[in-house]
Structure 1
Amino acid sequence: MPRFSASYLVETPLDPERAAAAMAGEQSSGTFLKLAGETDALRERHAARVEAVVPLETTKSPSLPGALPGETYQRAEVTLSWPLENIGASLPNLMATVLGNLTELRELSGFRLTDVALPDEFIEAMPGPQFSIPGTRLLAGVDHGPLIGTIIKPSVGLSPEDTADLVRQLVEAGIDFIKDDELIADPPYSPLAERVPAIMRVIEEHAQRTGRKPMYAFNITGDIDEMRRRHDLVRDHGGTCVMASVNWIGMSSLVALRRHAQLPIHGHRNGWGLFYRHPHLGIDYRAYQALLRLAGADHLHVNGLASKFVEADSSVIDSALACLTPLLETSNRDDRAMPVFSSAQTIHQAPATYAALRSTDLIYTCGGGIMGHPSGVAAGCHSIRAAWEATVSGATLEEHATQEPDLVVALRAYPSPFSG
């Protein structure tokens, strides 16, 4: 019988083996006392197993409030497994099993889901990314190198006409990818029913003139019925991407959107700090991104190096590498997600990003890094592309700048976040 497993970093005032047994019982056949219906046969078939307990360091004080009191608190790596028949092919029930009440156990003063391992049967039953990296490249007309992108700024307040005017500047500058900000979906001042046709007129005119159609990710976040209607609106006007705030629509809504969608789904993870910011509470991105890919996200945000956010650079790269690692090695289905680098990215992060990732299968979105260029939006776009061309060719930015005036200006205008 196939099984699935989950790995955790826990902290407990108890012996870690005892805490792990409490975790296994709580999330399968057991509870706080013995029940008549919990037969040996039922336990044999449905109980969670403690697969591994690896003690780590101890600490004098608990990381989280509410746990059982203790003189010291032991940290440990714990792995549990369950029979797949406990949940069937259901992402919400997978999450209820590997997280659920574990987050509230008094036996634990720290709890973090670090990874999940799922059998092929489960992965194959999930919708997964529909377009992944190859489909995204095909629709955006970018067969190599990163997709150079940006975000509509200001994030809020622009009318559909104002937004379309900005899009015109960006597509004429040679941008590959543009996205709505997460703060705008279908507000009264810029209804999606007006914003989509206004923007797509500009993009279609550009495509007819140049043969190149940049990708625009329209934010369709809403309830399930709203997202289906909004997706169809984008599709019917020739759009090639939709975006959703995955933490707020929920896993089931993402699955429902994916099963309906005929366009790539750009997964925006705003609110991610709730899951990762405390080192002893939440979810590691390796587990999180796997669940979102199974649900159908084609692109997933991973922050960026030297960004304005608190996430460490090592975590950003590990997140991107996780997105690029297939869930099913032997499948014909490409279930990778294209990592999206964002947050205060400029020309300077390109070399470090490529050196760590060794791949250009990514979307590199720059707001101020493009729109703040002293010579204008077109020069900003050119400078980011030149930075990546230099990086991939093995040249330094300064060396390549001798051939790229816009890169020269950018080197003067943007201080390196890695210096000083």
Structure 2
Amino acid sequence: MIRKLDEVNLNYAFPEVAFSEDYIIGTYQVRVKTSSIEKLALAIADEQTTGTWIKVANDSDDKRRTFGAKVVSIYEVPDAGADYAGDQPPMYVIQIAFPMANMGASLPMMLSTVFGNISASGMLKWIDVAFPEKYVRRFQGPKFGVEGLRKILGVYDRPLLNAMIKPNIGWTPDEGAEIFYQAARGGVDIIKDDELMPANESFCPLRERVTKFMEMEKRAFEETGERTLYAVNVTDGIDKIRDNALRAIEYGANCIMLNAYTAGQAALKMLADDPEINVPILAHVDFAGAYASATYTGISAPLVIGKLTRLAGGDFQINGHPWGKFPIPYKVFYRSFKAFTQPWWNIKPMMYACSGGTTQLVVKNCMDTLGTDIILAAGGGVHGHPDGSYSGAKSMRQAIDAALQGIDLIEYAKTHKELMRMAERLGPDVMKNFDLMK
């Protein structure tokens, strides 16, 4: 049988050719024993586009030319030669190019195309995706982003301070409003519901909660001259999310929050693209660990929580750091920050909120690593202060001031009693405070 080059190379392309022809390139890490990595890569390309496990009647080369994926590259790590003596299955990095036309500007269809069925195919992990500029420009991304948040708050020369209402759940609107007021007058820029606080349940109704919190925002502003955003959780069934957001804004909310990985990134995009929802959106990271915690399966954290959520329109996002209560590797922390912020055509940077055990003792670590265009998100660090939330907020602002001025935290605390009181409570060993999480 004669097979010419155009047939042999039908499902292959160089990456630069794929980009020029409007393909999206998915990158995968694969650890598997196989007699032919070429056949495996082609099977992945087929499975996610025109093919299946058996030849079907209506398949054709014409369909594959238009809708089929192409194998862009295959790398073995290490690039084994005749001297290779390892007994583990090889590790491969495979790149597959998918036609933009297959998925349009739909995030769910992009996810289904690039990692749908193959996500269940064993030790295969989706580690990156590269979009042509034409594809990215179909998305709005964050409405506000870093500069927009700073403009709303009028704060340009320091990290922003965020606190979530603690305890997570169980408080009444009146109790929550008092916690809000004390934190706001102490210097917190953004106060959010905990991700466990439902949007609108009988024990803490949306209207009463938002109305009372925003009354306290006005009161604190009149005393301090500093604005506070209230990120009210609107997470709910998909049929209720938009209505929750619009009602929260009607009641006075100046920010909303969505649990983006349980509600879905498409729900986040729906809110971000809506012209009637003209307030910043906090994307909460809870549940992302179900996607991004494994070594050999799932999705890489910088991709799922950074690149994709930024594309969907999150203005800022709660995320972990290496000095807190969750085991966030430095690599994941830093690469995620880059996915949040590095230049990306029309897509504004998304602000990184260092959370999950952020205390006064680690403020300098976060600032030294990421700079000052970040949010320091402290729940226990504010509300766990021995003298209450007002002093806790002041102590966090004092820790920020110390880091900005290059003064040792304890030295600065000698003349700032709120900071000293919290430093004494926490003790010198940062990680001992999180023994209960281990």
Same fold (TM over 0.5): yes
Residue 114 of structure 1 deviates from its aligned partner by 0.7
Q: Aligned-residue CA RMSD in angstroms?
A: 2.0
Which residue is 1:216 aligned to? 230
Distance 2:226 2:397 in 1: 16
Q: In the alignment, is the contact (CA less than 8 A) between 1:224 and 1:256 conserved in 2?
A: no
2:60 equivalent to 1:43: no
2:389 equivalent to 1:377: yes
Number of equivalences: 400
Find the residue that maps to 2:125 and give its secondary structure: strand
The C-alpha deviation readout for 1:84-122, integer Å capped at 9, x for no partner, is 1121221111100111011123xxx30111111111122
**Gapped regions of structure 1 (runs ≥ 5):** 59-70
2:32 equivalent to 1:12: yes
Find the residue that maps to 1:311 and give its secondary structure: coil
Instruction: Read off the aligned partner of 2:112 and give its amino acid letter.
Output: A
Which residue is 1:267 aligned to? 283
- Identity over the aligned pairs, expressed in percent? 29
| TM-score, length basis structure 2 | 0.86
Q: Give matches, 1:280-319, under 5 Å.
A: 280-288=296-304, 289-319=306-336
Residue 172 of structure 1 deviates from its aligned partner by 1.7
Q: 2:268 aligns with which of 239, 254, 259?
A: 254
Find the residue that maps to 1:73 and give its secondary structure: coil
Distance 1:83 1:310 in 2: 37
Q: In the alignment, is the contact (CA less than 8 A) between 1:305 and 1:353 conserved in 2?
A: no
Distance 1:303 1:274 in 2: 15
Structure 1 pair 374–209 and aligned structure 2 pair: CA distance change class (3 A): closer
Q: 1:81 aligns with which of 73, 77, 97?
A: 97
Q: 1:401 aligns with which of 391, 409, 413?
A: 413
Find the residue that maps to 2:90 and give its secondary structure: strand
Q: In the alignment, is the contact (CA less than 8 A) between 1:9 and 1:111 conserved in 2?
A: yes
Q: In the alignment, is the contact (CA less than 8 A) between 1:5 and 1:79 conserved in 2?
A: yes
Residue 211 of structure 1 deviates from its aligned partner by 3.3
Residue 40 of structure 1 deviates from its aligned partner by 2.2
Which residue is 2:120 aligned to? 104
2:15 equivalent to 1:3: no
Distance 1:4 1:411 in 2: 50
Q: 1:133 aligns with which of 146, 155, 160?
A: 146
| TM-score, length basis structure 1 | 0.90
Q: 2:368 aligns with which of 351, 355, 359?
A: 355
The C-alpha deviation readout for 1:306-348, integer Å capped at 9, x for no partner, is 22112223322221222112322xx3xx521111111111011
Q: In the alignment, is the contact (CA less than 8 A) between 1:224 and 1:257 conserved in 2?
A: no
Residue 373 of structure 1 deviates from its aligned partner by 1.8
Q: 2:195 aligns with which of 169, 182, 197?
A: 182
Q: Give matches, 1:235-250, under 5 Å.
A: 235-250=249-264
Distance 1:230 1:104 in 2: 35
Instruction: Read off the aligned partner of 1:129 and give its amino acid letter.
Output: P
Distance 1:174 1:340 in 2: 16
2:337 equivalent to 1:320: yes
The C-alpha deviation readout for 1:229-277, integer Å capped at 9, x for no partner, is 2222222233211001111111322222222221111000211111122
Residue 21 of structure 1 deviates from its aligned partner by 1.6
Distance 1:208 1:112 in 2: 52
Instruction: Read off the aligned partner of 1:143 and give its amino acid letter.
Output: Y
**Gapped regions of structure 2 (runs ≥ 5):** 1-20, 80-86, 433-438
